[in-house]
């Protein structure tokens, strides 16, 4: 009896220690296929195999890179890759949201993401109001089809408005049942915002996250513009990835995608993955 109790205690202690040692993220870390936009068109099968060999299982995409869709999907299955979210053009979403429903269902994706709201030099309250209307309307249709809509901010949304920002206006006016956000931590940092503070301010509103780090010393702006070569290996920049990962877990982020837009993405993504796996 004593031996059984002693062994049970050892097992419990080992499990507790393992839980403490687990990485700060429990979910898979995926990749936004835009990271490999230069490599994929040249040899889709080889690049998908390479992505899989990095230990990646989840993707954000929506294109078949010139291959027939069924052939592309077969390659995804062969390499144990799953499309979690697909992109949608803002104007198409406004005019034909069913097309986004169909695209998501084609790939078995659970999310549709809009990456840009068309506007002139400065994003205005009128632009924000139009976007809110489009997202609430399209998001309702998507939800009825079992798909969630997210908007990926690019920095221009953080212009001052009222007692806050245009982003705050959008967060207030978007119906969370129909539309939420994908946080790109680079594009929150770049206009001078704090990703951790934003996660804490709007818990449960960011089911998706782009992980991207910024070369220290890079000058930010609210234009949604940056040199892609300022994208560096996660943990080596000034965005504060470690603190963000802890806050993201508490804020209910469900899927993470590394997005490395630099010319070094093939070399940097594995290093970024290694960094994330080292976090405790």
Residue 19 has pLDDT above 60, yes or no: no
- Is residue 16 over pLDDT 60? no
Of 17-26, 46-55, 87-96, 199-208, the poorest mean pLDDT is in 17-26
Instruction: Report the pLDDT value the prediction gives residue 27, as an integer from 0 to 100.
Output: 67
**Would you put residue 83 in left (φ > 0), alpha (ψ -120 to 50) or beta?**
beta
Q: Is 9 exposed, middle or buried (0-12, 13-18, 19+ CB in 10 A)?
A: exposed
- pLDDT for the residue 265: 98
Closest to 58 measured CA to CA, from 31, 33, 26, 76 = 31
Please tell me the pTM assigned to this model.
0.90
Mean pLDDT, residues 21-30: 61
């Amino acid at each position: 009896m004593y031996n059984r109790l002693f062994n049970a205690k050892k097992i419990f202690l080992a499990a507790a220690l393992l839980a403490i040692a687990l990485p700060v993220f429990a979910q898979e870390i995926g990749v936004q296929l835009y990271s490999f936009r230069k490599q994929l068109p040249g040899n889709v099968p080889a690049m998908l195999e390479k992505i899989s060999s990095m230990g990646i299982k989840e993707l954000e995409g929506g294109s078949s890179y010139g291959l027939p869709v069924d052939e592309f999907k077969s390659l995804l299955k062969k390499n144990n890759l799953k499309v979690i979210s697909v992109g949608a053009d803002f104007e198409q979403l406004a005019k034909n949201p069913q097309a986004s429903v169909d695209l998501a269902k084609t790939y078995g994706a659970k999310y549709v993401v809009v990456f840009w709201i068309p506007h002139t030099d400065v994003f205005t309250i009128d632009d924000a109001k139009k976007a809110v209307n489009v997202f609430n309307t399209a998001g309702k249709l998507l939800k009825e089809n079992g798909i969630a809509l997210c908007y990926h901010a690019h920095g221009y949304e953080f212009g001052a408005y009222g007692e806050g920002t245009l982003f705050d206006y959008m967060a207030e006016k978007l119906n969370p049942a129909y539309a939420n956000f994908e946080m790109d931590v680079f594009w929150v940092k770049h206009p001078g915002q704090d990703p951790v503070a934003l996660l804490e301010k709007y818990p449960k509103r960011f089911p998706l996250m782009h992980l991207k780090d910024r070369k220290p010393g890079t000058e930010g702006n609210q234009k949604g513009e940056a040199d892609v070569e300022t994208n560096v290996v996660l943990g080596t920049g000034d965005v504060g990835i470690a603190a963000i990962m802890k806050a993201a877990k508490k804020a209910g982020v469900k899927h993470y995608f590394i997005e490395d837009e630099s010319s070094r993405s093939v070399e940097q993504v594995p290093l970024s993955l290694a960094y994330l796996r080292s976090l405790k």
